[in-house]
Amino acid sequence: MPSRQAAGSTSAMLEELLHNRNSVRGFLPDPLPQNTIEKLFSMAQQSPSWCNTQPWRLVMTAPADTKRLSEALVAAAKVDLPAPDIDFPLVYSEPYNEHRRQCGGALYGAMGVARDDKAGRYDAWLRNYMFFDAPHVAIVSREECLGEYATLDVGVWLGMFMMSAQSLGIDVCALASVAAYPRTLRELLNIPDEEIILCGIAFGTRDPNVPANRARTKRQNFSANVRTATLDSDG
Ligand SMILES: Cc1cc2nc3c(=O)[nH]c(=O)nc-3n(C[C@H](O)[C@H](O)[C@H](O)COP(=O)(O)O)c2cc1C
């Protein structure tokens, strides 16, 4: 544990990383050095999990194969119906619908895609399957046998991965969208049927000239998510 004074500066650094992080949807083609990738995965590997089960499973592509995988996914996205291992939400009630609307508005606004521009929205959606031109993509899955709590562990890992990346100056976009086509992913990457495919992660270095990278999202004050319960005194 750092001393109280050191903890202050560590926490200020972490706070800055948290506030400056954002999803990147336009990457430069340059691959990251292998030792940087290894550093990133070894930092995220420190993630805690239920009974230390460490259930996250990742398949990465070499940069040359990232393009082939992307082409196969784009082809699937154009003709196949989404069939994710875990159902995507179909309906968003409030306040989730409003959060989602704001997130889409920020992205499409930055890209200059109008609300009624169906072709523009379709092209923007297909960019998911191009991994936003990232040189690296990892597909994230988990063992089925551990049950649903393992998804929580993988979520914790994903957060650790994102913050490790942020501290190393690596840009990231999580991609639940690619989990819509598990058959393509299984076929090309030899992902066993016993693993549930959760999402992809595109990573590399942001292209500062891509308009989508100017999109920023906001958060509600934590009081929207956290409440303090008062227990009945006679309860
Ligand atoms: C599990 C997960 C899956 C996501 N999937 C996608 C995706 O498929 N496509 C995409 O453009 N963004 C995706 N995102 C990014 C979210 O839209 C983004 O995190 C959210 O809008 C907040 O914005 P920020 O990351 O810039 O702070 C995903 C994020 C998470 C955590």
Confidence of residue 64 (pLDDT cuts 50, 70, 90): confident
CA-closest candidate to residue 59, choices 194, 170, 190? 190
Indicate which atom in ligand 1 lies nearest the CA of residue 25: 11
Kindly state whether residue 35 falls inside one of the protein's structural domains. yes
Q: Check pocket membership of 175 for ligand 1, CB cut-off 6 A.
A: yes
- For residue 53, tell me if it sits in a domain: yes
Looking up tokens 């690296």, which residue turns up? 136
Q: How far is the CA of 190 from the centre of ligand 1 (A)?
A: 26
For residue 60, being part of any structural domain is answered with yes
CB 173 within 8 A of CB 134: yes
DSSP state of 209: T
Structural domain containing residue 168: 24-87+130-211
- Residue 189 belongs to some domain of the structure: yes
Q: Is 213 in the pocket of ligand 1 (CB under 6 A)?
A: no
What is d(CA 94, CA 63) in angstroms, rounded to the nearest whole number?
Answer: 40
Tell me the per-residue pLDDT of 154-200, one tens digit each, with 9 for 90 and over.
999 999 999 999 999 999 999 999 999 999 999 999 999 999 999 99
Structural element, H or E, at residue 141 = strand 136-143
Percent of the chain with pLDDT over 90: 92
Substitution candidate for ligand 1 out of 24, 161, 175 with most atoms within 8 A of CB: 175
The answer to whether residue 101 sits within a structural domain is no
Lowest-pLDDT choice from 3-7, 93-97, 224-228: 3-7
CB 226 within 8 A of CB 219: no
166 touches ligand 1 (CB under 6 Å):
no
Cβ(207)–Cβ(27) below 8 Å: yes
Nearest atom (ligand 1) to Cα of 128: 9
pLDDT band at 60 (very low <50, low <70, confident <90, very high): very high
Q: Residue 176 C-alpha to ligand 1 middle, in angstroms?
A: 8
- The CATH number of the domain holding residue 173 is 3.40.109.10
Is residue 79 a part of any domain in this protein?
Answer: yes
What is the number of other CB atoms lying within 10 angstroms of the CB of residue 68? 12
pLDDT at 235 over 80: no
In a domain, 61, yes or no: yes
| Residue 106 placed within a domain | no
Number of domains observed in the structure of the chain? 1
